Amino acid sequence: MPHDELLRLALNTAVTAGALAHRRRTEGVEVADHKSSPVDVVTLADRETENLIRSLLADARPDDGFLGEEGGAEAGSSGLTWVVDPIDGTVNYLYGIPHWAVSIAVVEGDPDPLTWRALAGCVTNPVAGEIYTATDAGGAFSGNQQLRVAEPASLAQSLIGTGFSYDSQTRAKQGAVVAELLPLVRDIRRFGTASLDLCAVATGRLNGYFETGLKPWDHAAAALVAREAGAAVVGLGGAPASDAFILAAPPELLSVLERELSKLVM
Ligand code: IPD
């Protein structure tokens, strides 16, 4: 199936799923469970939205695999896997902060960020009505508008996004990294939705973004959007971006940020 058709499926599914999650938010949110820590919650809407996405994708592409935040992995036979975060920014969603996303990517190869090739991805912010899409080598778009990263800026003039783990010990280390970086940059933003942070690099709302400890579904679609908008998206020490570390920025800034962060992270 051509990448454009995979993207159309991702987009239609993300819009339908976003409408469901948005409707459920207005009806009131119920925490269904806790995951890695007491502040890492899953809502009934997360589960319902993922189930909807899973069934829409399975109807259209029954041979593909699926990797979702809430329901786990299911292998397919086509060589393609859908990597899905039904509600990225769950804590924002829980608190009614209108900055959360549905993220759907389709990747080729094992569903492992170190080796996969992302073919198409869609990230939506249903409350803001923003939709970001990208296909491999086909560019990144918001609606009809092609996305481009910000003009080159020095580190001192750069607005940098990041995020924090749900684990308090990891968070203490992440806070120490931010404390070291803060005097070197224009400012730091922690918006609470990793996929939208990466899309913000694609639109130039952020100059750069980094985070340790993301999960594949947090970055699968949005890393493709950032890359196709002209960002370099890397891991540490020349490794591909992965759950361990992801850094996205225009290439000129990336090398400077990478140098600073490699001294601080890990
Ligand atoms: C979280 C958000 C957050 C990031 C965390 C993620 P979730 O995803 O993307 O911005 O800092 O690392 O776990 O749990 O809301 O899907």
pLDDT number for residue 8: 98
Strand (E) or helix (H) holding 118:
strand 117-125
Query: Which residues lie across from 65 on neighbouring strands?
Result: 81
Distance (angstroms) between ligand 1 centre and the Cα of 14 equals: 18
Q: What is the 3-state secondary structure (H, E, C) of 13-36?
A: HHHHHHHHHHHHHHHCCCEEEECC
Write the CB contacts of 250 (distance below 8 Å, at least 6 apart in sequence). 149, 150, 152, 207, 208, 230, 231, 232
Q: Is 194 in the pocket of ligand 1 (CB under 6 A)?
A: yes
Mutation pick for ligand 1 pocket among 218, 242, 245 (CB with most ligand atoms within 8 Å): 218
Q: Is 46 in the pocket of ligand 1 (CB under 6 A)?
A: no
Question: pLDDT category, 175, cuts 50, 70, 90?
Answer: very high
Kindly give the number of the ligand 1 atom that is closest to the alpha carbon of 87.
Answer: 16
Which is more confidently placed, 192 or 237? 192
Q: If you average pLDDT over residues 189-215, what whole number do you get?
A: 98
Distance (angstroms) between ligand 1 centre and the Cα of 88 equals: 6
Q: If you average pLDDT over residues 89-102, what whole number do you get?
A: 96
pLDDT number for residue 266: 56
Q: Structure pTM?
A: 0.96
Kindly give the number of the ligand 1 atom that is closest to the alpha carbon of 46.
Answer: 16
pLDDT number for residue 34: 82
Q: What is the mean pLDDT of the chain?
A: 94
Q: Is the pLDDT reported for residue 260 higher than 80?
A: yes
Distance (angstroms) between ligand 1 centre and the Cα of 118 equals: 20
